[in-house]
Amino acid sequence: METQTSPKLGNYVLTREAGRGGMSTVYEAVDTRIGRTVALKVLAVPQYLSAGQREALVARIKREGRAVARMSHPNIVEIYDVGDQDGLHFLVMEFLDGVTLRARLDTGPLSPDETAEVLDQVAAGLDAVHAQGVVHRDIKPSNVMLLPGRRVKLMDFGVARQADDTTMTQAGSMVGSPAYMAPEQVRGGAATPASDLWALGVLVYEMLAGKPPFVGDNIPSVLYQVAHKAPEPLHDVSPAIQKVVQRALEKDPGRRYGTARELADAFRTAVAPVESAGPRRPRRALAGVKGGAVTAAAPLAPAGARTFSVARKRWPVAAVLLLLSTLAAVPMFLRSNGDNRQQVTKRGTPSPEPPRRDPVEKKPARAQRTVSTPPPVKPAP
């Protein structure tokens, strides 16, 4: 709610600070013209730059904001406006109510099928970005938002650039997060769609392993590994999945996948045989996402985000079999106490989700329906 002391930028009243990073501060705000809640990102222009460099940087950010604003895609955060006031430059984006992939990974790695579900949607958004001639340059877990309804959005285009713009970064400089930078960027080369695809490969590796492929005590150590070392093989994944990730992390850009969709499809194909090999019950990466009031492009996850986890309690198979044996032993009790049997069935269901959301969850119910309850025999007079 707007008050006399509420700070205001342009047509936007700032209601609270939602996150802060090295390059920006994100606020929850309200557009006073239409009453819409938005995420307003105030950019921090480095003071060590010359006046000309700062002016060029601001012009670039505005240009990129307008480029992303022209995109309309379900897997890309919407940008509504760009502006400046009293020397402050800002982007206005949709307010997203979810949790970041970074917060989710803080609870543990994802299974291959969960990874495929997230990758499918990030790939769709990234290919749409590339189709507009824009390089994202900062693909990482904190820039992927998991939303209710099993949706995923790619966000934070604060360092994105037009693919054909060679004036935005000085020669030899690097923009992005070191652990997700491509080898060609580490060596001083320009960022391209291929470097975004490398970062997407790092994202896939981290979803499976719980950590990036290259870690170190300092930035130079990480950058050296990115440029010269092969990533440690993933554990507990199939050779087919390992092969897909290995190609995504090729040092030579020409040997990587050509598009994000190509990578996502190859990964989905590699996962499919694993899923059909047995009655493995997959965890659902997005089913448990609750609204967490995390704003678009927030550089930091909110304090409560670490509590988010998709892992759900399951009954061991032995416990289910024991339950079925018990039911078979007391048919008369079940017949005369239908409400109680229904209560047992509900407790035996591994997930609170409706069966239509996860067909596997119907197994216990089907097993119980096979229990035969013979009718009582009336004694002969």
Q: Which residues are catalytic?
A: 138
Q: How far, in Å, CA of 320 to CA of 225, rounded?
A: 48
Q: How far, in Å, CA of 282 to CA of 311, rounded?
A: 10
Sign for the pseudo-dihedral over CA of 24, 27, 32, 33: positive
What is the distance between the terminal CA atoms of the chain, rounded to a whole angstrom?
81
- Listing DSSP states for 41-71 in one string gives EEE---TTS-HHHHHHHHHHHHHHHHHHHT-
24-31/134-135 β-pairing: unpaired
Q: How far, in Å, CA of 205 to CA of 267, rounded?
A: 11
Q: How far, in Å, CA of 204 to CA of 159, rounded?
A: 21
Sheet holding 12-20, edge to edge: 8-9, 12-20, 24-31, 36-43, 88-94, 79-85
Q: How far, in Å, CA of 276 to CA of 2, rounded?
A: 55
C-alpha 153: how far from its chain's center? Answer: 7
Strand partners, 83: 90
Strand intervals (E) in the chain: 8-9, 12-20, 24-31, 36-43, 79-85, 88-94, 99-100, 134-135, 144-147, 151-154, 161-162
Nearest to 118 by CA among 285, 266, 232: 285
Q: How far, in Å, CA of 160 to CA of 116, rounded?
A: 25
Nearest to 96 by CA among 85, 108, 80, 82: 80
- Kindly tell me the burial class for residue 222, based on how many C-beta atoms sit within 10 Å of its own C-beta (0-12, 13-18, 19 or more): buried
Contacts of 268 (CB under 8 A, 6+ apart): 116, 119, 120
